[in-house]
């Protein structure tokens, strides 16, 4: 499956649609079986159409994340999935092997990078990456600012988890 380039405009459109109403992660999970806003519907659609990816996002791999970081992971993964889904005709259902393979590759690349700072470590991930705008979206979402609730450890987990999501969905 070849996934066309997902542009910043597509990503922005998806985030605007999801941001129309905000819910907490718990409220969103409770609303899975109910009619709800676009965020609720997106979570339900992700769970129905990509059950292995959905399970991965809620897995032990992310147990060190705070509740806010876990909610953020799900939100950012929804944006990625919706953007890829909008641009592909038929997206195959991911299997756990593909996700595990991508995650292992990403952790290896991250751990073998000799750069010291988090942002410097990310440079290697952009080298000839076919979905640069999606990856830039993830990087921008993890930028340090005074209002950020994302911990240093959380940043690493979020980045690797979201890069893994992109790789698996786009067959990279």
What are the extents of the domains in the chain?
A: 8-170
Q: % helix / strand / coil in the chain, to the nearest 5?
A: 65, 0, 35
The model's pLDDT over 44-87, given as tens digits with 9 standing for 90+, comes to: 889 999 999 999 999 998 999 999 999 999 999 999 999 999 88
End-to-end CA distance of the chain: 10
pTM of the model: 0.86
Spell out the residues 6+ positions from residue 153 whose beta carbon is closer than 8 angstroms to its own.
64
Please choose, from the candidates 171, 165, 169, 132, the residue with its C-alpha nearest in 3D space to the C-alpha of residue 62. 165
Contact 66, 21 (CB under 8 A): no
> How much is the pLDDT for 2?
77
The model's pLDDT over 2-33, given as tens digits with 9 standing for 90+, comes to: 789 999 999 988 888 777 654 444 444 444 33
Please choose, from the candidates 20, 19, 74, the residue with its C-alpha nearest in 3D space to the C-alpha of residue 50. 74
């Amino acid at each position: 499956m070849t996934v066309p380039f997902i542009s910043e405009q597509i990503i922005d459109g998806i985030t605007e649609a999801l941001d129309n109403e905000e819910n907490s992660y718990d409220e969103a999970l409770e609303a899975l079986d109910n009619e709800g806003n676009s965020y609720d519907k997106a979570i339900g659609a992700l769970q129905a159409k990509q059950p292995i990816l959905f399970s991965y996002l809620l897995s032990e791999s992310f147990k060190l994340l705070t509740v806010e970081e876990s909610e953020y992971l799900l939100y950012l993964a929804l944006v990625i999935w919706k953007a890829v889904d909008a641009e592909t005709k038929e997206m195959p259902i991911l299997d756990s092997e593909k996700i595990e393979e991508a995650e292992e590759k990403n952790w290896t690349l991250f751990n073998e990078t000799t750069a010291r700072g988090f942002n410097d470590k990310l440079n290697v991930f952009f080298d000839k990456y076919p979905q640069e705008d999606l990856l830039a979206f993830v990087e921008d979402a993890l930028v340090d600012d005074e209002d950020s609730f994302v911990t240093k450890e959380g940043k690493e987990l979020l980045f690797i988890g979201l890069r893994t999501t992109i790789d698996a969905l786009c067959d990279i």
